Homo-oligomer: A and B are copies of this chain.
Amino acid sequence: MANPLIRKLEQRDRLSEEEKQVLENAIAKVREVGADDDIVKEGDRPSESSLLLEGFAARYKVLSNGRRQITDFHVVGDFVDLHSFLLKTMDHGIVALTRCRIGAVPHATLAEITEKYPHLARLLWLHTLIDSAIHREWLTAMGRRPANGHLAHLICEMYLRLKLVGEAEGDTIQLPVTQAELGDALGISNVHVNRVLQDLRGAGLISLRGKTLKVLDWEGLKTVGEFDPTYLHLAKKEAL
């Protein structure tokens, strides 16, 4: 199977054959991580960065009182800790929410890419900047949107992100998270997640059975979440 990172970067800008070869060879080894296990732990100083080849993961921070905040979800093709290449020490953990296949890209390889393949380096940099843009959008939703709008916004985002990597089937996605985990992402309690989900269901915007989420009314969902996908900087090819 082709390295999903190649596919992802090619949505942005053309890659030369040589560049593709470099990315193909960048994965030094592949490992599996079980659901609910950490892919990287807070405080780690990894010597390689983890590329998500398969599965669904989340970044999170834990507070002293044990409460948890999820700061992003990650889908296939995401380089979950590319930042550890330069930040060195992990200031947060990354947990596998399903069984995941992880490709390890040595930091030495990344350093070499910055030295010899500046165009590739810019593309990788770009993807860390999109992560940053997603964080800003989450901050805005967390600070200034009511819970139902916030949830609607998150569903819109995850739908588009999963669709982009070919993980949506029509209007349906798999969202392998519990209501408690959704609460950790939205900054609300699991009880309130439940009520807000019923709200969206009652409004005929979504259906959700188990982990299968179906978007019944995309426009309505966008309206409730005030969703504007600009921040995802989706796949407009621009020369980098």
Contact = CB atoms under 8 A, between A and B. Distances in A.
B91 A143 contact: no
A59 interface: yes
B88 A238 contact: yes
Contact of A136 (B68, B92, B230): B92
What is the total number of copies of this protein in its complex? 2
Given A129-B86, A132-B83, A136-B71, A63 B231 contact: no
A138 B125 CA distance: 22
A226 interface: yes
Interface residues of A, number: 49
A100 B194 CA distance: 46
A33 interface: no
A135 B129 contact: no
Determine chain A's interface SS by DSSP, over half rule.
helix
Contacts of A122: 86, 111, 114
A233 B87 CA distance: 7
Interface in A171-189: 184, 186-187
A157 to B, nearest CB: 13
Given A63-B226, A86-B129, A114-B121, 11 more contacts: A61-B137, A69-B140, A83-B132, A87-B130, A88-B238, A89-B233, A114-B114, A125-B128, A135-B139, A139-B139, A139-B187
Interface of A: 59, 61, 63-64, 67-69, 71-72, 83, 86-89, 91-92, 111, 114-115, 118, 121-122, 125-126, 128-133, 135-140, 142-145, 184, 186-187, 226, 230-231, 233, 238, 240
